[in-house]
Amino acid sequence: MHFPRNILITGASSGIGASLAEHYAKTGATLYLQGRNEKRLESITSICRAHGATVHERAIDVTDASAMESWLLEADRNSPLDLIIANAGISAGTGKNGEGTGQVRRIFATNIDGVINTVQPLIPAMIKRGSGHIAIMSSLASIRALPSCPAYSASKACVRYYGEGLRGWLAPKGVKVSVICPGYIKTPMTDVNTFPMPFIMTVDKATRIIARGLAKNSARIAFPRILYIPLWLLSCLSVRLTDPIFSRLPTKPES
């Protein structure tokens, strides 16, 4: 299997981002890791270095467009990036009191603007080189909006469409784009959920699925299939038929 050599990952201080960082560290890659929590980021950096990777970490917020652009361009000058994984994201739902405007704006700022701030600055360089791979973290919640988390569903649908559109535009220019749509993964993000999560998957298994999909340049890496296919089929039906089904789903805690 061909492994990318220079990789940038946002949201690398925990969850899927940290697991992907460790996975690629074992291949001896050069890693550029972003996270907001400096202590957790230092911890995963140490683990990745112990695996033999060269690691450059940066504790910044993906919503800071100027800081992100400066860091991304600096990283790409030092090590022309083969793969960027726009993974940073937050989640919250309606809970007991519904979604407030502040929560909606925070989710959109991180999950949409954060992806844009990660991807857009590097597109010109990748086009110029005629190579590179962009991976965008979406969710199965992008397939059909969930009333338990309207803003989260909308944000993930936005970046899925953005990534799938980019793929068609950038493919003739030699740049690959993949969109990742996981279901429930055992991470700190899902640990706050108090309801049953069907077909929840370990982060290690999710990482292996994602890495395989990226190696094959899959357009949409959606899993588990046992959850993805029914959601996709339900999304094809009239909202009048599916609203009663989704309205019975348990609520996700608000932030």
Annotated catalytic residues are 152
The strand pairing partners of 35, in sequence order, are 59
For the four alpha carbons of 145, 151, 152 and 156, in that order, the dihedral sign comes to: positive
CA 201, CA 206: separation in Å to the nearest integer?
7
Structure-block tokens of residue 210 = 């994602």
Instruction: Classify 158 as helix, strand or coil.
Output: helix
Residue 79 neighbours by CB under 8 Å, 6+ apart: 5, 6, 30, 32
Return the number of other C-beta atoms located less than 10 Å from residue 239's C-beta. Answer: 10
Is the Cβ–Cβ distance between 136 and 162 less than 8 Å?
yes
Could you tell me which of 117, 222, 125, 118 has the C-alpha nearest to residue 170?
A: 125
What value does the CA radius of gyration of the chain take, rounded to a whole number of Å?
18
DSSP at 92: -
- Number of H-type helices and E-type strands within the chain: 11, 7
Write down the H helix ranges in the chain.
15-25, 38-50, 65-78, 101-108, 114-119, 123-129, 150-170, 188-191, 203-215, 225-235, 239-246
